[in-house]
Amino acid sequence: MAKLHENPLTKRPRARARHHEEHVEAEALFTSMGDGAITTDEFGKITRVNPAAQQILGYSEAELLDEWLPKKIIALSFDDSPINLIDRPITKTFLTGKPISAKMYYRRKDGEKIPVAINTSPIIVDGKPLGAIELFRDITLEQEVDRMKSEFISLASHQLRTPLSAIKTYTHMLAEGYMGKLNSSQKKSLNTIISASNRMNELISTLLNITRIESGTIAITLKMVHMVTIIEDVLPELIVMAQAKNITVTLDASDNARNRIKTDSLIVKEVVTNLVSNAIKYTPDGGTVAIIVQAQRSDIRVEVRDSGWGIPTYDQDQIFSKFFRGQNIVKRETSGTGLGLYLVKGLIDALGGKVWFTSEESVGTSFFFTLPRANQSKTPGDKEKAIFL
């Protein structure tokens, strides 16, 4: 009798059995996933729903199957405004053919609004789009932890700043002669304390602002101000820092009358302080830092140009990343958190501006930022914030 496996016709049962096993495994995977999973056809009609998705949304499988996903599952922004169809991750996946991630709110069947983190991907077989898969999870707990973290950092920063305010005020009063004349040795000691407390202040400000940006709670107050006046306000202390390294700091503002702008001066001061203090820190002794303000038709442009060590090409892509510090810098200057430029980018984005740079190693770096004259800051309620972050 021929052996079963030698007959081509008898190979089919084994292949069928293997296929069945794989199907059962795939089904078990889809069903047992802890995240909600929904698949759709190429038109967005729901074809499969796993138990986790039903549990998160409060709908039964029967209530979801064959429904058009964007219509059946209502998506909302943090202020309850509906997310436009074009901004839904599944729409973007269909349009771009790429995986998309987003955070927003979904409305459950019982009307409750829950925050979700969503990932959508296209389903492509043999080069043909068959549909999409959306994975999502309830992030209520994560959001609550973030909120508590944010509140804690806010409170801690404020409490840390209170004694620092007294240190700053009294050391400066001593240095400025309010309590009598000091000898040069006393002045030198005071300057050491002032410098250290300024560094601590800077770090607390940075941490606080980053927390606010990341949690979307930064409050922007727009007022008409002169860009040059804002910069002049922060220059004196930066010049003291520069003088310690014999670095010359200059400010060049052409057409002063036209540099009025509606913006948040405290935020701009934070940006300028960060960029100029970086320029001073990363420029060798005897170098130069130039601040150039140019009024343009629809915006004001500020450049901070230094004759410093520059940024190597291989590091330039990451320069605005959180905690990033260039290797050429870390070897020379051990202080620094890698948060300054991440903060600068976040603040300029919040004001509706742009920030970029050019750099050449051993020659220097120029950081630029522009702020629109007719301010388009991204405050809550704007379309750009329609996706909950």
Instruction: Point out which residues bind other proteins (CB under 8 A).
Output: 154, 157-158, 161-162, 164-166, 168-170, 172-173, 176, 178, 201, 204-205, 209, 212, 217-221, 233, 237, 264, 266-267
Residue 108 burial (CB count, 10 A): 16
The identity of residue 249, as a single letter, is V
280 close to 247: Cβ distance less than 8 angstroms: yes
Strands 288-295 and 248-253: parallel
Closer to other proteins by CB, 117 or 167: give it.
Answer: 167
Question: What is the side-by-side order of every strand in the sheet holding 288-295?
Answer: 248-253, 288-295, 299-306, 364-372, 354-360
Closer to other proteins by CB, 72 or 226: give it.
Answer: 226
DSSP 305: E
Closer to other proteins by CB, 10 or 165: give it.
Answer: 165
- In the complex, minimum distance from the CB of residue 218 to other proteins, in angstroms, rounded to a whole number: 5
| SS3 call for 72 | helix
Interatomic CA distance for residues 206 and 342, integer angstroms: 10
Closer to other proteins by CB, 7 or 243: give it.
Answer: 243
Closer to other proteins by CB, 153 or 290: give it.
Answer: 153
- In the complex, minimum distance from the CB of residue 333 to other proteins, in angstroms, rounded to a whole number: 23
- In the complex, minimum distance from the CB of residue 177 to other proteins, in angstroms, rounded to a whole number: 10
| SS3 call for 309 | coil
Question: Among 112, 107, 72, which residue's Cα sits nearest to residue 90?
Answer: 72
- In the complex, minimum distance from the CB of residue 212 to other proteins, in angstroms, rounded to a whole number: 6
Strand partners, 136: 36, 118
Closer to other proteins by CB, 158 or 188: give it.
Answer: 158
- In the complex, minimum distance from the CB of residue 266 to other proteins, in angstroms, rounded to a whole number: 5
Which residues, 6 or more positions from 186, have their beta carbon under 8 angstroms from its beta carbon? Answer: 174
Concatenate the DSSP letters of all residues of 163-200 into one string.
Answer: HHHHHHHHHHHHHTTTT----HHHHHHHHHHHHHHHHH
Interatomic CA distance for residues 155 and 208, integer angstroms: 9
- In the complex, minimum distance from the CB of residue 268 to other proteins, in angstroms, rounded to a whole number: 11
The identity of residue 290, as a single letter, is A
Closer to other proteins by CB, 68 or 178: give it.
Answer: 178
Interatomic CA distance for residues 139 and 145, integer angstroms: 10
Strands 128-138 and 36-41: antiparallel
CA distances from 61 to 116, 151, 300 (A): 19, 40, 55
Closer to other proteins by CB, 108 or 161: give it.
Answer: 161
- In the complex, minimum distance from the CB of residue 173 to other proteins, in angstroms, rounded to a whole number: 5
- In the complex, minimum distance from the CB of residue 350 to other proteins, in angstroms, rounded to a whole number: 9
